[in-house]
Structures are given as C-alpha cells and as structure tokens.
Structure 1
Amino acid sequence: MSAPTLLLVALCCWTAGAVIDLVVGAGRLAGRVTPYLLATVGAAFELAAGVQAVASPPRTLVVGDVLAVPTLVRVDGLAGAFLVLLGALGVCVSAAMTSWVVPEGRVRGHGTGAGFTLLLGAVAVVVVAGDAFTFLFAWESVTVALFALSGVRRRGRDTVRGSWAVGVFGKASGAALLLGIFLLVGRAHGQLALSAFAHLAPSGTLDAAWLLLVLGFGAKVGLVPFEVWLPPGYRAAPGPARAAMAGLAANIGYYGLWRFLGLLRPPPLWLDLTVLLAGGLTGLLGITFAAVERRLARLVAGSSVENAGLILVGYGTAMVGRTVGATPLEALGLLAASLQLVAHAVAKSGVFAASAFVESDAGTDDLDELRGVRRDHPFSAAVVAVCSLSLAGLPPTVGFVSEWFVLESLMQEFRLHRLDAQLAMATTGALVALTAGLAAFTFARLVGLSVLGGVAGGRARPRRSDGGIVGGGGLLLLGGSSLGLGAAAPWLIRGIALGLVPVVPAGLVKGALRSPAVLQPVYAGFSILSPSWLFVVLPLGTVVVGGLTWAASRSCRIRRVPPWRSAGDRIVLTEGYSSFGYAQAVRHVLANVLGARRERVRLPNGREVPVRTSVREPVQTYLYRPARLLARHAVAGAKALQSGRLDLYVLFLFGALVAVLLVAVAVH
C-alpha cells in the first residue's frame, strides 16, 4: 500500500477509538482499553506510511474540496521522517496508556481516549498537509486535543490553570501562524498551496511572515517567553498522555520550522540571531528551574523547555548558514537540531510514560516522597534512569551525540565573516555549555535520590505492577532506543539525511559520516567521534575499573558510612539528603535569577538556619503579570464605551477605521 493509503487506515483506527471512548466511556474495562489499542494499531500504520514516504519519490495528491478550497496531501522525505518518528512514539506511548488505564479510577467518564486519538490524528495531518487551509485546520485540532487532555480531569486549581494555559497559548500560536500564512497567501496572489510560497521574492512582508511563523511555532515548543505554559500544562494531563504532549505535539512545531525553512527565501539575519540567542536563553532558563523543582512532572517539563532551547539553537545555526550562504553550516545546524529532536522525543516520552506508573501508585509526584522507586517499580525506574542519562547528555546515549553536534555547530562561528553572527554564536555556545552542566546536576538528583536512593525511614514497600506486558513493551522500546540510537547514530544520520532532502542536499548531511562508524561535524578534519565505539568501550571500562576496585578492596580496611549524608557535625539528619536539600546550592548561587526567598527553618536539634525556599519564574513575574494588570486597566477604561454617549462611539469607530487603513497601507 502507498503512504497515503496507510495513513488513511491509521486515521480510521484513531476515529474508531475516539467514537468508542465517547460512546462507551471509561466505566468498563473494554471502554477504557480499546481506544488505546486502536491508537497503537493506527500508530503502527503511521510508522509504515513514514517508511514508505522516505523510500518513495515525493507525491502531491488532491483529495477533495473543503469549502471550495482544494485539499492537498504532500508526502515527501521530510514528512516521511516525521511520520516515522511520530508513528514509533505513538506505538510506545499508546501501549503505555493501554496498561496504565487498566486499574479502575485512573480515567473517568468520556474524553481522555478521544483527546488522545484526536491528537495522534491531528499531528499526522499537520505533517502531510499540502495547503494552508488543511495545515491551519489540523493545527487548531491539535490545540483542541491538548486542551481536552489537560482539562479532562479538573481535580484542583493547578489542573484548571494548566488546561487554560494550554488553551490560551495554543490559540496564540494559531493566531500568529494564521497571520503569517495570510501574509504569504497575499504575496502568492491567493494561492493556498504551500509549494506556492517557494517563489516569493524577498520583501518586508516576507520578513514579517517569517517573524510570525517563528513566534507561532516557537509558542508551541516553548521558546522564551512562551515557555510558561509547559510545566502546568504537562502536569495537568493524565498519566502517559504527558508523553504524547511532549513527544508528539511538540514535534509539529519543529516540523513547521523545518518545512518553511525549505519553502521560503532566507530569513533576515537579525531574526536568525534572535532565534539563536533566544534558544540558548530558553535552554538555560528551563534547566535552571528544573534543577530546583520539587515536582517530578514539572521537573521533566522544565527539561522539555531546555531541550526546546537546544533544538532551536541548532535550527538558528541552520538559519544563519542559509542567510549568509554557508550551506555546510546550514546542513550541520539542521542535523544537530534533528538529532536533538529525536533524542528529546524518545527520552522525554520514556520518562513521562514510565513515571506515570510510579506516580499513580504513590499518589504523589513529590520527589522527596518518591524515594527508592527501584524497589517497587524496578522496570519503570530503569527506564527513567536510562532516559534521564540521555536528557542529561551523557554517553553512550543518543542525547550525548546530539548535544555534541549542537556544540560542534556553534564552534564553526570562525568560518563566518560577520562579527555580529560570530558574537551571537559564541555567546550561545557559552549558554549551551552552562545548560549542559546544569542538566547533569538535575538528573543526577533525579536518578541518585528518587530512583536509586533508599526508601524513607528504611521501610519496605510492596512491589507493584510495572506496566504489564503491553505497557512494559512500550517502555522497553523507549528506554532501549535512548541507548540503542546512540550506538546506531551513524545509521540514524543516514536516515535523517534522507528526510532533510527537501531542505538541504543529502550529500552535505552525510558529510557528517567520516567513516561507517565515525562522525564529524560535516566539515572534514574539525573533530571526530565514534558513539558506536563508546558504546563498547564505556561498559568494558566500567567492568575493568569495578573489578580492580573490588580486588583492591579485598586487602584494604573499609570504613562504611551512610550514603547521601551531610558532612556538617551541627546538622542532624535521619534520612540523608532530600531532593530539596540537594538543590539548595543552585537556589543560593542563582538566587537573583530564581527569585528565591530566604526563610529561617528550625532543624530537629532546635537550631534555626536561613534557607532558600520558593522560587519565582522571571518571565511570568516581570512580563505576564504586569501585562495582565495592564489588560485589566484597559478593560476597565473600555467600559466607558458602554455609557451610551454618541461622541465616544464615533471616536471609537474613527480610531478603528484609521487603524485598518494603516494596516492596509503597510501590507501593500
């Protein structure tokens, strides 16, 4: 079967799952499980469609007219590559959802399964949309699906705020894209086919459209200052549905950036440098707040903001290369961004899906309560640990390979002949390096204390069901991919090269392959890396060092002390380090950035010490809160229009007419 036919079968499976959820509901086991089984089958067909699309020539199909607008389906290498990623993640996450919903009470009523399947279908349609109407319609459908998933269980004030944050920022993203695409359609003389935008000449209108597109797609992935919706929005979603939000929905934002980079003329350099610096700032801000977060879901969401920043750094490098005519730099930046996208999607989906079983059984996502989860959830804990290593960028995972490419792309700044571009890339490189260090600190806390730490009070907890056969298979694929894709990075790059053909030539991307198992940053002779060799050497080195240490310890006197204890003799601790205490160093060092408050806390021995406690998000504090107050004052002032005075009505209409005329003059 062809790729469009396979995708049509997938859409039928997802539609059937949504209907079953809306009709039957979650009251019966069959009603809870069947939608996600159908979602798994549909995602498998989507995966097959992606493989078929990558291996076949590009195709454009006219599937009918909607409101007298031709509906186009465009299936090429880029769409196929994203369908492969979305299909593979859809299989794993749907399998995890299938097992997670089995216990009664985790999902209630109707809507969760329908929102989940709508999300799978909408992201697939965004990827294959060949016209502006279909693209925007599917984009808004994704927003509806995300709002449904985050708002289906309103159990508290935080959940309500999270769902509204998802809806508001989703609509803002759609509005920016609508305006940007309308500008492009106007320049294309009313043609709605996306391919028509490739012939637009450089102009101020095109630059404005580029800015709106970056804002629209950036709002979906969490670019500063739009990152504030991710932590509350992800936490509001039920169970492994968070993995679908982070691993599936976010990817269409990156797809849009990739697609329009291949369609449109180069963006202005000022926008390239803005994206580059904003990406570095996004990564640092996201991981800084993740490092001090006490809630597991919000910690992982902060890491999503960090990874969004790293991906956009690679994309910004590609934009710079395209604008200045350095095609190898464009290929390197886009390859680095694509590798980081794959690493983040796989690892983040694994952490969210595996932690859902732990959080549901424990009844909390407080890191100080989730101590030693390896004892009662050994399989989920192992997946969280492996995926955390990838998110921290540590070898031999695929996250290490992707971050290596991101840093290597920024090191090519000396090849540019513009001082502003060189300074921007150098500054961003420093931000990325600091971000990588904080990421290692953040996930060392998560793995060392929550996964590998001892149970509070030394009490034993009963071993729980750990995903079952279906869910366990999905978790195994996600955890294994975080490791396996690192070893298979040379072959992964070959696949990415085929997918990026609509944007950059495959030969340039394959320049990153110095040999079948050795990588370089496209530019020959700069530096090399063999992740496949690391995958063999690091485990062997660990075994050798461990064996030598054990042999040496046999003839030495060993002094055993409790792990994770404070060295201070004045501090009396009964449980060792807590997750909150471990992050105190970051709260103190970055107190000005975090807005950490200093409070006096009484220790068990009666002594009071100053401690940095709650933190404050600067974007929300200094941007959105003043904007909200300003909006309230504006609304209060606008109430004067309701007084019934004719002169105020006339003045209002005159001002509106002048504004419309100014916009019309600016457009033409």
Structure 2
Amino acid sequence: MFLAGLALLAAAALLDLAAGVRRLLAGIPYLLGVAGSACLLAAGAGALAGHGLRVDLGAALGLGSSHLAADPLSGLFLVVAFGAAVPVSLAFASWATSQPDAGSGAEPGGVRRRGVAAAYALTLAAVAVIVTAGDAFVLLFAWEALTIAFFLLACFGRQREGRTGAALITLVFGKVSGVALLLGLLMLAAGSGSLTLDTFHTVPPGLAHTAAYALLVAGFAVKVGLVPVHVWLPRGYTAAPGPARALMAGVAVNVGFYGLWRTLALLGPPPGWLVTAVLLLAGLTAILGIAHAAVHTNLQRVIAYSSVENTGLILAGYGVALVGAILHNTPLVAVGLLAATLQLVAHVAAKSLLFTASSGIEAAAGTSELDALRGAARRTPWSGTGFAVGALTLAGLPPTVGFVSEWFLLEALMQQFRLPGLGFKLVMALAGAAVALTAGFAGVTFVRLLGLVVLGPAPPATPSTQRDVGVAGRVGIVTLALGCLAVAAVSPWEIRMLAAGLAPLVPAEVTLGALKSPWVLQPVFDEFSILSPSWLWIAMPALLALVAAVTLLASGARPLRVRRVPAWRSATAGVEGADQYTAFGYTNPTRRVLANVLLTRAELRQLDQRTEQQTEHPAADGPRPAGPRLGYTSDVVEVVEQFLYRPLARPLLVLVKLAKRLQSGRLEAYIAYMLIALIAVLAVVTALA
C-alpha cells in the first residue's frame, strides 16, 4: 500500500506537468492524490497495528543500506497526516476545477496553473518519506524536497505584491532547517559509525551528543515555527494558493513534530538547559502567536498566526515529556507526550478545516479582509459551517476536540508540583501560565471571527450570488468538521490509538493510565482530575433543550419574535460611524492589553475643524457638532523581526556582496576554490583522527 500511494502521487505530478492547465483534467491529479493519500493512510494504520513495513532502496536505486521503515510511531504520524490529506485533497480538486482559467487574471485561478498539483503531490510524497526514513540520507533528501515544494506553493501568483518575498523567506528558513539537520545527523553518524537512524542511540553522552541534540531540535523547530524562527510561517502560509494553506499547515507541518518525537526516542534525555529553553520558548511562542492573531484584520493572516500559537501549545506538552525524560519519570513522559499529541491531532483537524473553508469563503467574496467578509459565511453555507466548527475547535470550546486537548495540556503542566527541586517547577509554572493566558485570548480571537464572518450582517453593496465549493469540496469540509466533533466524542478510543503509536517512547500501559474508566479521562496520574468528553455530548444537548424549553415557556405565544432597533452609537447627534464593530475596533482592547507584547503604537490626530457655519445645514441624521474631527490610528510590531532579523540583515547583505566577488567567471579560480576546500577538509579529518 505504501509504494502504491507513492506511485499514485508520482502519477498525479506527471499528469499535472503534462496537462494540468486543461480544465477537464485540472481535478484529476488531486483525485489521484486522494487515492494515494488513502493508500498511505492504510499503510500507516497497518504500522500502527504492529504490521511494520520496510522498503530497501539500496538494490533498486543504488543507495547502499538506505531504506524506508515504519514502526508504530511512524504509523501514528502517517495516520494523522494522511487522515487530513484525504479531505484536503478533495477540497483541492473542487477548488481547481471551479475557479477561472489562469489567464483570466483572477487570483483563485492560480491554482489551475501547471505545476501546482505537482508541488502538492511532491509535498505529500516528501511527508510520507520523511516519516518513514530509515537513515539520515533519505531523511535529508526528503527534507530538501519538502523545502522545494513549500517554495513552489508559496511563490505561485508571484506577480502579486509580497508573494516573491514570502516565497524567498520560506526557502531561506527551509534551507536553515536543512543545514541544522545535516550537521546534527552527521555528528550522530560520526559517533555511531552508521547513517542508520536506529544506531544513533549508541552515541555516548558528551559534547557531540548534546550539540547534535540541540541542532536537531533547532532544525525541526524551524519547520513548526517556534519563536524566534517563526517569521516565515505567517508569510509562507498566506502566500500559498487556496487549500495549499491547509496542506502546508495541517499536513506537512507534522514532519517537524515527528522529528522532535523521533529525536527523543533515539537520543533519550536531553540536556537540562535545552529543556528549559523549549518550555520557555513554547510559552512565548503561544502568547506571541495568539497576540498577533487577535489583532490582524486579514483572515488568512489570523489563521496563520494561530498556527504559531498552536506550535507553542504542542511544544509545551513536549517540554513536559522532556522534563520527565531527564528525571526518569515515565508517567510524566506519558502525560506530556499524550497532551502534545492530542493537541497536535486537534490542530491538524481544525487548521485543515479552517484553511479549507476559508479558501471557499475567500474565493466567493474575492477578498480576505475581515471587514469585507462580514456575513460571508451565510452566503456559502457549506464553507461557513465548516469555518464555524474549525473556529470553535481552535478556541478550545466543548464539545470539540480542541477542548479535550487543551484541558489535557493544562493538566499536564499542572503536574509541576510532583517535581524535585525548584528549577523545573518554576519553568513549568511559567509555561502553564502562558498556556492558560493563550487559551483565554484564543477564545477572544475566534469569537471575533465567528461574529464577523459567520454571524455578521452583510454590507449593503455585497452581491447576493456567490458560489460555494463544489461537491468534492463539500465532502472534504464535512469530513473534517465531523472529525473535529466526533474525535472528541470518542476520545478514549483516540487515546488507545495514541498509546499504541507512542509505544517506542513510553510503554503503552503507562499511557493508558489516562483512562480512568472506559469513558472517563484523567492526566495519567490517579486522583488528580477527571473529564468525560463523551458525557459532554449528552449533557450539552440536554442543557440546550432545557434552555429552549424555558425560553419557549417564558416567551408566551411568540417565542421567535425578534425586535430590531437602530444600534446606539453615541449620545451626541451627528456622530458618524458604523452600526457594528469593525475588525479593528473589536480588537482594540486586546491591542491595548497586550501593548507590551505587540509594541502597540497609537496616534490620535486632528483631521479637520468644523465651524459653526458648517453646522447650520445639519445632515439627515441630526446636527453635527462644531469642533475638531479626530482620527485614530494604531499598529503593532513583529518584535522578533524588528529587533532580531532586521539588524542582522545589513551585515548579511555586506557578506553577500563580498561573496559575489568570488564569482569571477574564471574556471581556474573555481578549481582553486575546490582544491582549497579539499585541503581544508583533509586537514580537519587528519587532526581529528
């Protein structure tokens, strides 16, 4: 099944390159991707059930001992990634066939350009190979392929403002990630005497082990968007066309988390300073991500920054597991990994759904600005319903899977009282406070999206005829929405699946301690707290029915009567303004509360001066008062970019200019460079020997 899945993805790429711009064939590569993803999903389920796979590449491709292999951990990530890839691919097929031609000038039409489906197929194939790579060479090869695929997806529509810069930033950070992994893997290969990943556990503790651990964590952290290497993520996701954002944020990002999980399995306990850094940066990432998501007025930008926030949440749980590994506390490792993986599953389902649904809403409305999308979800009911479910999930509200995962994450961080010593207690307490604060602001953020996009009234000039996604897209959205809801209802079964997948890191019987009873969850440790997500599916509808009955009885004979009155704006006649919150106005309190995080800059200035003569002819809504007419502006700063990367940009540009001088165009000079490099390498090897 695994090889069949890769073959179908290869066929999808070849068909797109051969005839991708033809309207009748535009959706076929994505349907081949659906079939390929289903095959890889089945292969992952088999590995998760204990039926491992191994594909030797040496004999077929001349790559020596290189091979692909899937154990339960690989199977778990194949199931999570390609379980989302199937509905995302369906939405991609609907998107590609329903949009205008590439030459029409419409932005959505970029998805029908030759090469988009090929980049999509390359992304899926790279994800499958990374998760099953058995040696460093195959892992690095697939990692570079994924970097190229991300660049191709981000640079489509590059004629539009900002796309080229976003694609280049995505490529640069992808290469930085690859360099970190290359150095770390080579250090481990030198210590173990082999490129096979399973031999890396033989590397003895020491400087090389610590340096390799830090390099691998840094390399994988770039891919998932941990602060301070997160700045590429909002730009790269936003620049990608349509459902490609769901592919990148909901499917491909999992390889970074897989790498972190696999690093812990191979190398064991990390150094204490690295654990402290992971926990503190995770908390900072969560706060910084949700702070920017809360104040941006571009829908895709809001969702992209939400990915940064969720990276922080997931890595906070991972940090708890690292603390347990250092202290040899197996239950703490189990609760940390379980919380992180539950949050990972929730993020995959919700982010895939939100990006897919928002792509349909954006295509119908022709914009991604929140004020212009007011009430847009009502005119695209399929996309709107999916958008609402995804927003509720990322807000962490019951009865969605997001509520279960965030509850478990907070419970995991509360276990700090079990730790010896003060250091890790303080670090876990700080991370827990950051996660709790993030959860509160996440509710504010996604309530704003629901209020504007789903429940908001449409502007008067908005056209009433807007097309929703096609049949395949509706199937994909419904599948993802049901996943966000149904997984919460069957959380005990989900935990059983995760326990099997995490067995290479922690014994399954320890992880299954999270099941106090068949339908009641606890954070692995007995007598701490319990939750029954399944019971919520009984209690919440019952409470809703009770409220509806009380409302019906109290309202008399007209229970559905709605009273409509003009919105109150000011006690002063003639004050101008909208009758509802704008996207900017709704977030102004958040912008002020988080002023120290966002470095909010506000300015109140006088626009003009009304005189008494100008008020003699009042407007239709009443006289306008004399005096100054004021304007208010406010913006925020990306702190890391402003104070870290921009100061570094100037010396880097100087180095680039100096390096260009080496490009003389003379063959003998290039041969001399190669000779000097070879002599330097031989000198280093001789010295180390």
Find 1:349's aligned residue among 325, 349, 352.
352
Q: Report the CA distance between 1:635 and its aligned residue.
A: 4.7
Matched, 1:38 2:32: yes
Find 1:554's aligned residue among 547, 553, 556.
556
Amino acid aligned to 1:56: G
Find 2:65's aligned residue among 29, 54, 70.
70
The DSSP-based 3-state class of the residue aligned with 1:598 is strand
Structure 1 partner of 2:144: 140
Q: Report the CA distance between 1:466 and its aligned residue.
A: 2.1
In structure 2, C-alpha distance between the alignment counterparts of 1:210 and 1:433, rounded to whole Å:
29
In structure 2, C-alpha distance between the alignment counterparts of 1:202 and 1:416, rounded to whole Å:
24
Q: Report the CA distance between 1:230 and its aligned residue.
A: 1.0
Matched, 1:264 2:259: no
CA RMSD of aligned residues (A): 2.8
Q: Report the CA distance between 1:660 and its aligned residue.
A: 7.6
In structure 1, C-alpha distance between the alignment counterparts of 2:33 and 2:277, rounded to whole Å:
39
Structure 1 partner of 2:632: 611
Amino acid aligned to 1:13: L
Matched, 1:19 2:14: yes
The DSSP-based 3-state class of the residue aligned with 2:318 is helix
Q: Are the aligned partners of 2:20 and 2:113 in contact in 1 as well (CA < 8 Å)?
A: yes
Q: Are the aligned partners of 2:365 and 2:376 in contact in 1 as well (CA < 8 Å)?
A: no
Structure 2 partner of 1:130: 134
Q: Which aligned pairs between 1:261-410 and structure 2 lie closer than 5 A?
A: 261-410=264-413
Q: Which aligned pairs between 1:123-272 and structure 2 lie closer than 5 A?
A: 123-189=127-193, 191-272=194-275
CA 1:384/1:641 → structure 2, altered by over 3 Å: closer, same or farther? closer
* Worse overlay, 597-606 or 326-335: 597-606
Structure 2 partner of 1:102: 97
Amino acid aligned to 1:490: P
Find 2:2's aligned residue among 3, 7, 32.
7
In structure 2, C-alpha distance between the alignment counterparts of 1:656 and 1:154, rounded to whole Å:
37
* Worse overlay, 517-526 or 63-72: 63-72
Structure 1 partner of 2:49: 55
In structure 2, C-alpha distance between the alignment counterparts of 1:334 and 1:564, rounded to whole Å:
49
Amino acid aligned to 2:370: L
Q: Report the CA distance between 1:395 and its aligned residue.
A: 0.9
Matched, 1:432 2:429: no
After superposition, what is the alpha-carbon deviation per residue over 1:339-364, rounded to whole angstroms, capped at 9, x for unaligned? 00000011000000011111112111
Alignment TM-score, normalising by the size of structure 1: 0.92
After superposition, what is the alpha-carbon deviation per residue over 1:121-143, rounded to whole angstroms, capped at 9, x for unaligned? 11001111111111111111111
Structure 1 partner of 2:104: none
Structure 2 partner of 1:536: 538
The DSSP-based 3-state class of the residue aligned with 1:102 is helix
Structure 2 partner of 1:512: 514
After superposition, what is the alpha-carbon deviation per residue over 1:400-438, rounded to whole angstroms, capped at 9, x for unaligned? 110111111110001110211000000111101110011
CA 1:564/1:578 → structure 2, altered by over 3 Å: closer, same or farther? farther
CA 1:17/1:203 → structure 2, altered by over 3 Å: closer, same or farther? same
Q: Are the aligned partners of 2:268 and 2:325 in contact in 1 as well (CA < 8 Å)?
A: no
Matched, 1:630 2:625: no
CA 1:10/1:636 → structure 2, altered by over 3 Å: closer, same or farther? closer
Aligned residues: 653
After superposition, what is the alpha-carbon deviation per residue over 1:63-117, rounded to whole angstroms, capped at 9, x for unaligned? 3255543221211111111111122111100000011111323234311000001
Q: Report the CA distance between 1:550 and its aligned residue.
A: 3.8
After superposition, what is the alpha-carbon deviation per residue over 1:491-544, rounded to whole angstroms, capped at 9, x for unaligned? 100000011111111011110000011000000110000011112211221231
In structure 2, C-alpha distance between the alignment counterparts of 1:327 and 1:666, rounded to whole Å:
42
Find 2:602's aligned residue among 598, 602, 621.
598
CA 1:563/1:225 → structure 2, altered by over 3 Å: closer, same or farther? farther
Structure 2 partner of 1:649: none
In structure 1, C-alpha distance between the alignment counterparts of 2:342 and 2:211, rounded to whole Å:
29
Find 1:88's aligned residue among 83, 87, 97.
83
Q: Are the aligned partners of 1:563 and 1:576 in contact in 2 as well (CA < 8 Å)?
A: no
Amino acid aligned to 2:469: G
In structure 1, C-alpha distance between the alignment counterparts of 2:468 and 2:311, rounded to whole Å:
30
The DSSP-based 3-state class of the residue aligned with 2:371 is coil
Q: Report the CA distance between 1:555 and its aligned residue.
A: 8.7
Work out which of the two has the higher radius of gyration on C-alpha atoms and give 1 or 2.
Answer: 2
CA 1:516/1:617 → structure 2, altered by over 3 Å: closer, same or farther? same
Q: Are the aligned partners of 1:246 and 1:304 in contact in 2 as well (CA < 8 Å)?
A: yes
After superposition, what is the alpha-carbon deviation per residue over 1:311-351, rounded to whole angstroms, capped at 9, x for unaligned? 00000110110011111000100000000000001100000
CA 1:612/1:423 → structure 2, altered by over 3 Å: closer, same or farther? farther
Q: Which aligned pairs between 1:108-127 and structure 2 lie closer than 5 A?
A: 108-127=112-131
After superposition, what is the alpha-carbon deviation per residue over 1:362-412, rounded to whole angstroms, capped at 9, x for unaligned? 111000000102321011111111111110111111011101111111100
Amino acid aligned to 1:31: L
Amino acid aligned to 2:238: R
Q: Report the CA distance between 1:249 and its aligned residue.
A: 1.2
Q: Are the aligned partners of 2:81 and 2:252 in contact in 1 as well (CA < 8 Å)?
A: no
The DSSP-based 3-state class of the residue aligned with 1:130 is coil
After superposition, what is the alpha-carbon deviation per residue over 1:266-318, rounded to whole angstroms, capped at 9, x for unaligned? 11111011101111100100000000011111100000000000000000110
Amino acid aligned to 1:464: Q
Q: Are the aligned partners of 1:321 and 1:330 in contact in 2 as well (CA < 8 Å)?
A: yes
In structure 1, C-alpha distance between the alignment counterparts of 2:634 and 2:683, rounded to whole Å:
50
Q: Are the aligned partners of 2:364 and 2:468 in contact in 1 as well (CA < 8 Å)?
A: no
In structure 1, C-alpha distance between the alignment counterparts of 2:403 and 2:628, rounded to whole Å:
44
Q: Are the aligned partners of 1:490 and 1:517 in contact in 2 as well (CA < 8 Å)?
A: yes
Q: Report the CA distance between 1:639 and its aligned residue.
A: 8.0
Q: Which blocks of at least 5 consecutive residues in structure 1 are unaligned? A: 1-5, 644-651
After superposition, what is the alpha-carbon deviation per residue over 1:466-495, rounded to whole angstroms, capped at 9, x for unaligned? 222211001001111111111111110000
Q: Are the aligned partners of 2:57 and 2:63 in contact in 1 as well (CA < 8 Å)?
A: no
In structure 1, C-alpha distance between the alignment counterparts of 2:139 and 2:571, rounded to whole Å:
60
Amino acid aligned to 2:434: L
Q: Report the CA distance between 1:659 and its aligned residue.
A: 9.7
Q: Are the aligned partners of 1:79 and 1:127 in contact in 2 as well (CA < 8 Å)?
A: yes
In structure 1, C-alpha distance between the alignment counterparts of 2:358 and 2:365, rounded to whole Å:
10
CA 1:429/1:660 → structure 2, altered by over 3 Å: closer, same or farther? farther
Identity of aligned residues (%): 48
CA 1:207/1:563 → structure 2, altered by over 3 Å: closer, same or farther? farther
Q: Which aligned pairs between 1:481-500 and structure 2 lie closer than 5 A?
A: 481-500=483-502
Q: Are the aligned partners of 1:565 and 1:573 in contact in 2 as well (CA < 8 Å)?
A: no
In structure 2, C-alpha distance between the alignment counterparts of 1:102 and 1:505, rounded to whole Å:
47
Alignment TM-score, normalising by the size of structure 2: 0.90
Amino acid aligned to 2:92: M
* Worse overlay, 377-386 or 460-469: 460-469
